[in-house]
Amino acid sequence: MFRNNYDNDSVTFSPQGRIFQVEYAAEAVKQGSVVVGLTSKTHAVLVAIKRNAEELSSYQKKLFEVDEHVGLAIAGLTSDARVLSNFMKQQCLSQRLTYDRPMPIETLVSMIGDKAQLNTQHYGKRPYGVGLLIAGVDETGPHLFEFQPSGMTQEMVACAIGARSQMARTYLEKNADNFNDCGREELIRHGLRALKETLVQDRELTVDNTSVGVVGFKETGKKALEFFKVHDGAEVKEWINSVEEDADAGGETAAEEGGAAAEGMQVDE
């Protein structure tokens, strides 16, 4: 039987120049349920599907507040995500203590990028088995960053990671041009529609399995913040209903988008 000799640790390259442990970690991200993030001129939004391990168990949390101006969504190992989330929380607190300012999002993201990279270059360490979407607002506006276990980070207009996230990405790519000028509500609805694309046949968004996180400016051009807040349960009902309605109303467009998504699927494979 084939046995891969180059995946015992993350310090050894394969002859093809690959580090298998890091690639396996990236697979762990794809096992996690899907999360979607997107930004406009004024807001950054995260939406997520929560999973429950069994019928009687509670739903696993997907969105976390880091500081008043930053939040994150996770796909992969929740326990690893908590380590990163705690770290980011501490960094944000200390930034406020030493400089009396909110942590710039880019700086925060590069910190976890560096932290994750260390795990890919030290013997006996394991890469984080989680991918993150970090949404936040700072003096340069709303931002969305993607983080991968390799330590890769990049700023995105919109992004989706986790199981079947390709479907959501296809939706986001198709509508990306509209996001910038979206209002808060419209941006959330785009997020939920992208999320819906990833659902298997008989599944749908419910108040139990959907989380929405929003952060942004209260008014355009103003510095007053709408703090990052995670909305669960009854709070997301209206939004879910509103995306269901437009699916019923525009049957044709829905079918069209479904077609595009199917194409996307094939590309993925």
Smallest distance from the beta carbon of 72 to another protein, in angstroms? 13
From 261, 240, 255, 250, select the one nearest 197 (Cα to Cα).
261
78 touches another protein by CB under 8 A: no
The single residue among 1, 54, 56, 99 that binds another protein, judged by CB under 8 A, is 99
Contact 228, 214 (CB under 8 A): yes
Smallest distance from the beta carbon of 104 to another protein, in angstroms? 5
Smallest distance from the beta carbon of 264 to another protein, in angstroms? 32
68 touches another protein by CB under 8 A: yes
110 touches another protein by CB under 8 A: yes
Smallest distance from the beta carbon of 96 to another protein, in angstroms? 7
Smallest distance from the beta carbon of 41 to another protein, in angstroms? 15
Q: Which is nearer to another protein, 69 or 169 (CB)?
A: 69
User: What gap in Å lies between CA 235 and CA 47, rounded to an integer?
Assistant: 13
Smallest distance from the beta carbon of 171 to another protein, in angstroms? 29
User: What gap in Å lies between CA 213 and CA 53, rounded to an integer?
Assistant: 22
The single residue among 107, 180, 206, 220 that binds another protein, judged by CB under 8 A, is 107
Amino acid making up residue 174: K
Q: Which is nearer to another protein, 10 or 211 (CB)?
A: 211
From 72, 93, 90, select the one nearest 81 (Cα to Cα).
72
Q: Which is nearer to another protein, 93 or 265 (CB)?
A: 93
Contact 43, 142 (CB under 8 A): yes
82 touches another protein by CB under 8 A: no
Binding mask 113-142 for another protein (x = CB under 8 A): -------------------------xxx--
Three-class secondary structure assignment of 207-266: CCCEEEEEEEECCCCCCCEEEEEEECHHHHHHHHHHHHHHHHHCHHHHHHHHHHHHHHHH
Contact 22, 118 (CB under 8 A): no
Smallest distance from the beta carbon of 99 to another protein, in angstroms? 4
Q: Which residues are CB-contacts of 230 (< 8 A; sequence separation ≥ 6)?
A: 63, 64, 65, 71, 211, 212, 213
Q: Which stretch binds another protein (CB under 8 A): 26-34, 106-114, 168-176, 240-248?
A: 106-114
266 touches another protein by CB under 8 A: no
Residue 152 DSSP code: -
User: What gap in Å lies between CA 203 and CA 246, rounded to an integer?
Assistant: 17
Q: Which is nearer to another protein, 20 or 228 (CB)?
A: 228
User: What gap in Å lies between CA 227 and CA 70, rounded to an integer?
Assistant: 8
| Interacting residue ranges for another protein, rule: CB under 8 A | 65, 68, 89, 93, 96-102, 104, 106-107, 110, 138-140, 223, 227
